[in-house]
């Protein structure tokens, strides 16, 4: 039901047009004289014309079987028995104008965590509708697992899976587009976040924690929180390009003729300058993504070359701040070189723009 619909009363003759709503179950019916009558939604039915009578009498049709007994056919349902086509308006909450959304994994039986199956949910903790896609990847080939819409301030079941399917979920992507219906709103940027899911966590009880969205413990991954996107793995080409052409102060102390230097002394670290202008004679024709991939290739080649040098320290210079290149290096160390340790290199020698890796 909506404002403007013509309705008639079920318990008495008469009717009118819907002029408004009061709460969840009361509508205001405006009659021909302009009076608005508060009425229960269940006491009216929508009609197509202005005939507010009790409707036509439905004749009972009879047919006879071979024995001559009469059987009554089913009488057409009365309007009062028909479902009400009314949907409660979406309720917004204070603080919900900032986007917050989470990917959640909930064990079906927390007491049998080593054997139970799991449910995956998307949680929308905002006043926006979210159109989503939920995807998994294997060897850079993506598969769409689910797509649809999540209403404001709700959670949506996505899928159920067992431990035998965990290998298919180790690399996930969630994409979101936020909007509101039938009202103006502040435009939000599309969201594309990728996650590396550690299957080992699903075997540990302490992984699943109490939370605000489920009655039972759950494992939550933040997609976006208070409009801040969490851990995007998608390269921001514009930001990367800016970083490529910003020379960190520490790089001035190294010669551009070579990106590799070795200090004297057996305990002195090997220093690798990953700045684009140190690795490449020119970046003409290369995109920001091409440059990043080349830097990561040099990073991997260096670690492969010295993989047998246990205890060796290698300092990679990537520039000041925690930018795209540094995030990419840390991601490689966390997922590709888990046995190696790393830390910020000496500030006095290299400034803030270097990371020291120890071969293990």
Give the residue from 238, 306, 242 showing the smallest Cα distance to 272. Answer: 306
How far apart are the C-alpha atoms of 86 and 164, rounded to whole Å?
A: 43
Residue 136 lies in a domain: yes
Residue 190 lies in a domain: yes
Residue 64 lies in a domain: no
**Boundary (domain end) residue, out of 178, 203, 229:** 229
- Mark whether 125 and 166 lie in a shared domain: yes
**Boundary (domain end) residue, out of 229, 257, 292:** 229
Please tell me the predicted confidence (pLDDT) of residue 177.
Answer: 96
> Which tens digits make up the pLDDT trace of 192-217?
998 888 888 888 888 899 998 998 99
- Mark whether 47 and 112 lie in a shared domain: no
CATH number of the domain that residue 26 is part of: 2.30.30
Q: Is the confidence at residue 235, as pLDDT, over 70?
A: no
- Mark whether 285 and 252 lie in a shared domain: yes
Q: Domain count of the chain?
A: 3
Entry pTM: 0.45
Specify the 3-state DSSP secondary structure of 44.
Answer: strand
Q: Is the confidence at residue 125, as pLDDT, over 90?
A: yes
Task: Give the tokens for residue 309.
Answer: 């040098």
The 3-state DSSP composition of the chain as helix, strand, coil percent (nearest 5) reads: 20, 35, 45
> Which tens digits make up the pLDDT trace of 248-266?
443 443 334 445 665 555 5
- Mark whether 82 and 118 lie in a shared domain: no
Domain that holds residue 47: 1-56+75-89
Yes or no: say if 132 and 120 are a contact pair by the CB < 8 Å rule: no
CATH number of the domain that residue 332 is part of: 3.30.1370.110
Tell the burial category of 33 from Cβ atoms under 10 Å away from its Cβ (0-12, 13-18, 19+): exposed
CATH number of the domain that residue 169 is part of: 2.60.40.1600
Residue 70 lies in a domain: no
């Amino acid at each position: 039901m909506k404002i403007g619909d013509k309705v008639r009363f079920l318990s008495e003759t008469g009717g009118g047009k819907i002029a408004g709503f009061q709460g969840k179950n009361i509508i205001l019916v405006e009659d021909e004289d302009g009076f608005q009558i508060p009425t229960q939604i269940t006491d009216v039915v929508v009609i197509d014309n202005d005939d507010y009578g009790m409707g036509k009498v439905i004749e009972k049709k009879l047919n006879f079987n071979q024995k001559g007994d009469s059987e009554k056919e089913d009488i057409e349902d009365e309007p009062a028995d028909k479902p009400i086509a009314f949907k409660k308006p979406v309720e917004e909450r204070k603080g919900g104008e900032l986007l917050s959304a989470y990917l959640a994994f909930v064990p079906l039986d927390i007491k049998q965590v080593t054997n139970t199956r799991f449910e995956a949910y998307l949680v929308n903790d905002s006043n926006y509708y979210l159109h989503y896609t939920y995807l998994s990847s294997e060897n850079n080939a993506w598969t769409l697992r689910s797509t649809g819409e999540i209403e404001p301030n709700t959670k949506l079941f996505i899928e159920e899976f067992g431990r035998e399917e965990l290998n298919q979920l180790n690399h996930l992507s969630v994409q979101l587009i936020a909007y509101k219906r039938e009202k103006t709103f502040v435009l939000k940027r599309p969201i594309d976040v990728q996650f590396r899911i550690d299957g080992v966590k699903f075997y540990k009880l302490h992984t699943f924690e109490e939370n605000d969205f489920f009655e039972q413990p759950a494992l939550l991954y933040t997609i976006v929180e208070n409009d801040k996107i969490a851990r995007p793995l998608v390269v921001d080409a514009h930001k990367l390009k800016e970083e490529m052409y910003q020379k960190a102060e520490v790089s001035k102390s190294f010669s551009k003729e070579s990106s590799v230097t070795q200090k004297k002394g057996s305990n002195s670290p090997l220093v690798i300058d990953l700045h684009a202008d140190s690795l490449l004679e020119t970046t003409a024709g290369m995109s920001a993504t091409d440059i990043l991939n080349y830097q990561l290739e040099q990073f991997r080649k260096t670690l492969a070359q010295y993989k047998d040098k246990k205890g060796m320290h290698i300092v990679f210079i990537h520039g000041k701040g925690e930018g795209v290149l540094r995030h990419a290096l840390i991601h490689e160390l966390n997922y590709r070189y888990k046995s190696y340790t790393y830390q910020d290199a000496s500030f006095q020698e290299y400034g803030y723009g270097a990371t020291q890796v120890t071969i293990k």
